[in-house]
Amino acid sequence: MNVAIVDYKSGNISSVINSFKEVAKDKVKIEITSDINKIKSSDKVVLPGQGSFKSCTDALKGINGLVETLNEFAINNKKPLLGICVGLQMFADTGYEEVETKGLGWISGKVTKIDNQNGKYKLPHIGWNEINILKDSRIFKDIKDKSHMYFVHSYEFVPNDKNIVSATTNYSSNHVCAVEKDNIFGTQFHPEKSDKIGLKIIDNFINL
The string of pLDDT tens digits covering residues 103-134 is 999 999 999 999 999 999 999 999 999 999 99
* Number of compact structural domains in the chain: 1
User: Would the pTM count as exceeding 0.95?
Assistant: yes
Q: Is 190 a catalytic residue?
A: yes
Q: Is 192 a catalytic residue?
A: yes
| Ramachandran assignment for 177, one of left (phi > 0), alpha (psi -120 to 50 degrees), beta (any other) | alpha
Considering only CA atoms, which of 47, 171, 151, 155 is closest in space to residue 96? 155
Helices (H), the chain: 14-24, 36-41, 53-61, 66-71, 86-89, 195-206
Residue-number span of the structural domain to which 87 is assigned: 2-206
Choosing from 97, 156, 180, 192, the catalytic residue is 192
- Tell me if residue 175 falls in helix, strand or coil: strand
Which carries the bigger pLDDT value, residue 172 or residue 26?
Answer: 172
CB atoms near residue 160 (< 10 Å): 11
The pLDDT assigned to 208 comes to 95
Q: Is 148 a catalytic residue?
A: no
Choosing from 22, 72, 85, 130, the catalytic residue is 85
Q: How far apart are CA 206 and CA 45, in angstroms?
A: 10
The string of pLDDT tens digits covering residues 37-70 is 999 999 999 999 999 999 999 999 999 999 999 9
Q: What CATH number is given to the structural domain containing 125?
A: 3.40.50.880
Choosing from 125, 153, 175, 190, the catalytic residue is 190
